Structure 1
Amino acid sequence: IKMLMANQLIVILPLLLNCGSVLDSHSAPSFSIDRENNVFLLDGKSFRYISGSIHYFRVHPDQWNDRLSRMRAAGLNAIQFYIPWNFHEIYEGKPRFDGIRNITRFLELAMRNELYALVRIGPYICAEWENGGAPWWLLKYKDIKMRTSDKRFLDAVRRWFDVLLPILKTNLRKNGGPILMLQLENEYGSFDEGCDRNYTIFLRDLARRHFGDDVVLYTTDGGDDSYLKCGTIPGVYATVDFGPASPEAIDHCFASQREYEPQGPLVNSEFYPGWFLTWNQKQRGDQPVHNVINGSKYMFEKGANFNYYMFHGGTNFAFWNGGATKTAITTSYDYFSPLSEAADISDKYLAIRDWIKTIKNWPNPPKSIPKNSPKLAYGVVKMQKIGSLVSDDTLRLITTRRPILSRYPLSFEELQHPFGFVAYRSKLVIPGGNLTISVIKDYGYVFIGQDYQGMLVDSFEEYEKRWILVRGHVGDDLTVLIENRGRSVSTMNDFKGILSNVTIDGMIMVDWMHYPISFPHHYDEMIRGFRTLEKRKIEERRLSAYGTPGLYIGHFIARLQQDTFISPQGWGKGQIFINGFNVGRYWPNIGPQVTLYVPSPIIRKRNTVMIIELIGASNCTSPKCAIEFVDHPIFNFTSISIKNNFHRNIEIENL
């Protein structure tokens, strides 16, 4: 839970989820708190920050420097970011810090851009991220209690921190790096499952063992005693978070911080210039510019330090979006931030920059306004259906492991499969009937043979559909392709897959083959395999099959490498890959996101687009299927009814 303030009322929004000063050669680098004067001290001198959140894991690494330089140009003197444990340790015991996971390089670029860093190390981060940042493999212990002193959780955290924290230690301010302070956990006072002091003290002591006693550790919680009473940790500096609000509401939040920190600087660690989006959201999450500026001015006049969450939101590429209550976070994490998803300059950015420019003796005065990156509409790309989603040939190409046989269905976690999709297959023992799956997480696409029957939904907003009438012949393959829409950001043991028996007319189906699908890991080999299938015409594709669920491939030539947006209008629901890069999920009929942002570094001279279409494309009833690249994002916020397998015609709003 994060807090927004408006019109003197505290509104709880539940989840449905600089190095500008030159170091004095006579003083050692340091960062500390001067409680007597209610300020931070940087290298022994009074220091304040106006920072902005940016998540390296939501930005293509080739664009890190561009985004950081734009933040510096606005006049910020620090950045704030989370470290998602599950992004680095997808598989237990195999942590990665390469490419987009190279935290050291990201910190080096921040320092190069005169930006200090406030680092939020977790282990829980929320961030509207898959499982709140906790690794899926913790769920091998079905009764594990994450974010508590459950020994199994603490042991895993200790092993992870023993890898991560030494990397961060070398980048601390006292060691010549940009990191000023580090946040433990995240909004723990909002955790519904208890108030485990042993757990939070464990985090404190583990961090102290690695960093020493002279490093500033902090917590962040909502600006009210109801959050701070469980979120604070003895010996760790307590900060608050809240959005644009009346002066009285801001005073209340800082007064709440003062109850726990009578002396020391005032800090708002998350000041919200916007908000995230979930699928089927009907209202924009924006904040008026004047509200953001008025709140910024008032906090600054009170002597506060604060962080814009987010200053640049970025993108939930691949399967990394988190699940929310009966829905999920969209692929776009634009957040209505001062810098858009494509890092374009907004009116909000200009207003913040103009205000910071008026601050006397500010250490990081704004620089010239950066130009927006060029966007290119590459136009229409013809798409060819190259395979059913569930044929033997397709499953052979899109899985990297042998199928797993079990008498009853296994969960993603039991299959040791992190994200995305698993195909569950059994044989019909009667010609058909009422197929029922009482617990299915999250969406199930049902096929008899290769013929699509419809979509099962555990819950999506007010809509549920856990049964479907199927028709076939005894011995036909029944395949249920399960999509994991993202584990809950609240980290509540959110198991995925078929989690109950499957019945037809009350008869339990047994002997299931499981096909864990791993698109990203062997993309080029998979594409070559599909081309071979196409040439040999192994898989018959009738004219009537176009537009049905399946894999579609198209190619285009790009003379310039520019940012772009791919528009799946007319398509149903699925996943888009460009040159093997998993751009993310699309669901234009539900919205509000329609287009997907495509960063320029993934564009080549010769490009391949692959679409995993899950429910059928209404504009694709012949071999002339197509998808279009445009030069601007498109969102819709039209109210629609969620019925009839989620198909609806909606009006589109261009932004």
Structure 2
Amino acid sequence: MTNFTFGDTDFLLNGEPFRVLSGAIHYFRVHPDLWADRIQKARAMGLNTIETYVAWNAHEPKRGVWDVTGSNDLARFLDLVAEAGMHAIVRPGPYICAEWHNGGLPVWLTSIDGVGLRRSEPQYLAEVTRYLRQVYDIVAPRQIDRGGPVILVQIENEYGAYGSDKNYLRELVTVTRDSDITVPLTTIDQPTDAMLSDGSLPGVHLTASFGSRAVDRLATLREHQPTGPLMCAEFWDGWFDWWGSHHHVTSAEEAANELDALLGSGASVNFYMFHGGTNFGLTNGANHKGRYLPIATSYDYDAPLDEAGNPTEKYFAFRDVIARYAPVPAETPVVAPPAPAFEVALVVAGDWTPTVTAPEASARTSTSTSTNTSTPPTFEDLEQISALVLYEVDLPPMQRSELFEVDEVRDHAWVEVDGLPVGTLSRTLQQRSIVLPPGHTLTVLVEEQGRVNYAERIGEHKGLIGTPLLAGLPLEGWSATPIDVALLGQQADVAAPQSTPPYRASARSTLRGTFTLDASTDLFLDTSHWGKGYAFVNGFFLGRYWRTGPQQTLYVPGPVVRAGENSVVVVELERGTRDVARFVGTASLGHTEE
């Protein structure tokens, strides 16, 4: 039987010192047909371990509906790690941050009245216990002492940055051990005295997260972890992007020097990220440290392996450093040639006028429609887990234009009176009011742009928040209709095409085109000439696009594309400049600071 334990200064594999050289790959951010390729490329860089979070809300978006198929097949992912001759680290949270929607917590969970997130509150603990048991049913038989790849399991995630409820951490350890998890357990925190103290628990091994000043950070960790192996369980080798910013890149040379210092100190490492992947669909999170900033669709992260699985300069720089401390395979991955470049004409599959449209009307969930409420219901009230809600209200007689105000819009809204655009409200820009002309019906289409994945704003409600005012007086009698974005895309894929006028009647439209290829291949869909919306290829939900950038292309995984005829669908929320889908040879993730 193989065993994995802690020694005085090292990890021990069957009693022998073992350095963990790990890289993060989030299985839920990578097309499952590409898992084996990404794992093999990690091995070729010299890594011996793959680390992954487990995203609760990916597995259980609706309470009681547990999904372990397709991109959620954690068992298959771990089995592929084992087949590659590598070990695995599993981090099931329940909170994961990861710039992922709601920090990985399901919306139904954070909507429970009175629930106490990330602490020893009975409602929360009951749901967390049920969740962890389902995860550990997958992980337990795949532990190293049973012939599987799993060598470490993490308890919570950077908890010292959030709270200090030791009873909560103890409860997580108890359910973990009671679920037959026998491998060593770890915690992770940034290497400050307060965070390491608040986020740790006696008997659970401490690790740290950082991307610079490795020697100093490890010294701080050693003060709190007097014996046992030192490990940077998140070596930040890049960074993430958010809409309206620039594409973040870091120096390969400087990162390699930090890695050299870290390994030279005898520590183990997990690269965050080795391969970032993509926030497909509506899975991106958001940050809010004084300003709401939704995360982009690409999670390239400027990682050693880019979003399309190609090795970067950083990959080879890290490989050279690792070769000084451990054997590195002779094989090296190559960069794929440019993807096919071509254009596809798009035809209108349906306009989004506020009162009529077959695609929009059928994508609404009539059973969830709320009418005649004094205040607009939130997404949570409507049990809406997609991105759009259409609000409508009758306006009182108005002799002149009047000011319309809301407490807050979460997160972006398009305002119309009698079907004519008035303007937008934006949480990021802190726009909460707009002047309305006289009319009969006010329509406000609200988009949830991504749920905050960090700190106290996790689980906050979405929609029009508070009591809207018109000319200082409450505006009541609202109806609200959830719109399923994924269903919009699917319906447009099979809808009978309409003729495309020179100017569409509405800025909001669904458009479709077809193209033929000789073989399956990665593609890059250029979105720079569109406004804001969502894109699909062959029904696969690629994610969000937005002219504000920095991201200008959407990655289309090769397994989504087939030899023969393919379809592309665009759900446009604002008027773009061209009714054409343009595919380009390489990714364009936007300008950098330099």
TM-score relative to the length of structure 2 = 0.93
| 1:410-449 deviation digits (Å, cap 9, x = unpaired) | 1111111113111112223335633322221111112234
CA drift at 1:550: 2.2
Alignment-mate amino acid for residue 635 of structure 1: L
Q: Does 1:410 align with 2:373?
A: no
SS of 1:414's partner is coil
Counterpart check, 1:271 vs 2:235: yes
Tell me, yes or no, if the aligned pair for 2:285 and 2:294 is still in contact at 8 Å.
Answer: yes
8 Å contact kept, 1:426–1:512: yes
Which amino acid is the alignment partner of residue 211 of structure 1?
D
Give the gaps of 5 or more residues in structure 2. none
2:36 paired with 1:65: yes
Aligned to 1:603: 561
Distance change in 2, residues 1:281/1:163 (3 Å): same
* Per-residue deviation, residues 150-174 of structure 1 (Å, max 9, x unmatched): 2111111011112111211011111
Q: Hey, what does 2:364 align to over in structure 1?
A: 399
Query: Equivalent of 1:451, from 409, 414, 420?
Result: 420
**Do the aligned residues in 2 keep the contact of 1:374 with 1:562 (CA within 8 Å)?**
no
- The CA distance in 2 between the partners of 1:527 and 1:504, in whole Å, is 40
2:594 matched to 1:636?
no
- Residue 354 of structure 1 and its aligned partner are, at CA, apart by 2.5
Task: Map 1:254-403 to 2 at 5 A.
Answer: 254-282=218-246, 284-325=247-288, 326-359=292-325, 362=327, 365-389=328-352, 390-393=354-357, 394-402=359-367, 403=369
- State the AA in 2 paired with 1:561: S
Structure 1 partner of 2:581: 627
Q: Counterparts of 2:592 and 2:275 in 1: how far apart (Å)? A: 25
One-letter amino acid matched to 2:470: I
Secondary structure, in 3 states, of the residue corresponding to 1:446?
strand
| Contact kept? 2:101, 2:283, Cα under 8 Å | yes
**Residue number in structure 1 paired with 2:512:** 553
| Matched residue type, 1:481 | L
User: Which residue of 216, 241, 264 corresponds with 2:209?
Assistant: 241
Give me the identity figure in percent. Answer: 34
Deviation at 1:508, TM superposition (A): 2.8
**Aligned-partner SS, 2:542:** strand
Contact kept, 8 Å, 1:319 with 1:585, in 2: the verdict is yes
| Distance change (3 Å), C-alpha of 1:449 and 1:608 | farther
Contact 1:187 1:219 (C-alpha < 8 Å) held by counterparts: yes
Deviation at 1:512, TM superposition (A): 2.3
Counterparts of 1:484-563 in structure 2 under 5 Å?
484-490=448-454, 492=457, 493-521=459-487, 523-528=489-494, 530-531=495-496, 534=498, 543-545=502-504, 548-563=507-522
Pairing of 1:145-184 with structure 2 (within 5 A): 145-184=116-155
In the aligned structure 2, how far is the partner of 1:423 from the partner of 1:202? Answer: 42
2:69 match: 98
Contact 2:349–2:492 (8 Å) recurs in 1:
no
CA distance 1:450–1:382, shift in 2 (3 Å): farther
Q: Count residues in correspondence.
A: 582
In structure 2, how many angstroms separate the alpha carbons of the residues matched to 1:479 and 1:607? 35
Deviation at 1:542, TM superposition (A): 6.0
Matched AA of 2:271: Y
SS in 2 for 1:227: helix
Give the C-alpha shift of residue 505 in structure 1.
2.4
| Deviation string, structure 1 residues 432-468 (Cα, Å, up to 9, x no partner) | 633322221111112234433221112x1xx222222
Is the partner of 1:464 in helix, strand or coil? coil
Whole-angstrom distance in 1 between the partners of 2:430 and 2:198: 36
Q: 1:125 aligns with which of 96, 99, 109?
A: 96
Larger CA deviation: 285-294 vs 310-319: 285-294
Work out whether residues 388 and 450 of structure 1, in 8 Å CA contact, stay in contact via their aligned partners in 2: no
Question: Are 1:577 and 2:545 matched, yes or no?
Answer: no
Contact 1:378 1:558 in 2 (8 A): no
Query: CA RMSD, aligned part only?
Result: 2.1
Q: Report the TM-score, using the length of structure 1 for normalisation.
A: 0.85
The residue that corresponds to 2:198 in the other structure is 230
Give the secondary-structure state (helix, strand or coil) at the position aligned to 1:295. helix
The 2-side partners of 1:215 and 1:471 are apart by 65
CA distance in 1, matches of 2:470, 2:13: 68
Q: 1:612 to 1:152 in 2, by over 3 A?
A: same
Is the CA contact (8 Å cut-off) linking 1:244 and 1:291 kept in structure 2? no
Contact 1:520-1:581 at 8 Å conserved across structures: no
**Unpaired runs of at least 5, structure 1:** 1-27, 536-540, 640-652
Instruction: Tell me the distance in 1 between the aligned counterparts of 2:188 and 2:552.
Output: 33
TM-superposition CA deviations, 1:234-286 (whole Å, max 9, x none): 211001111133xxxx232112222222110110101121111111224x532
Q: CA deviation at 1:513?
A: 2.3
Distance 1:399 1:582, change over 3 A: same
Partner of 1:209: 178
Secondary structure, aligned partner of 2:142: coil
Deviation at 1:471, TM superposition (A): 3.3
Name the CA distance, whole Å, in 2 between partners of 1:447 and 1:638.
36
CA contact (8 A) 1:455 1:615 kept: no
CA distance in 2 between counterparts of 1:543 and 1:502 reads 37
In structure 2, C-alpha distance between the alignment counterparts of 1:598 and 1:127, rounded to whole Å: 22
Residue 180 of structure 1: how far off its partner (Å): 0.2
Where does residue 11 of structure 1 map in the other structure? Answer: none
User: Structure 1 residues 355 and 98 mapped into 2: Cα distance closer, same or farther (>3 Å)?
Assistant: same
Matched, 1:220 2:193: no
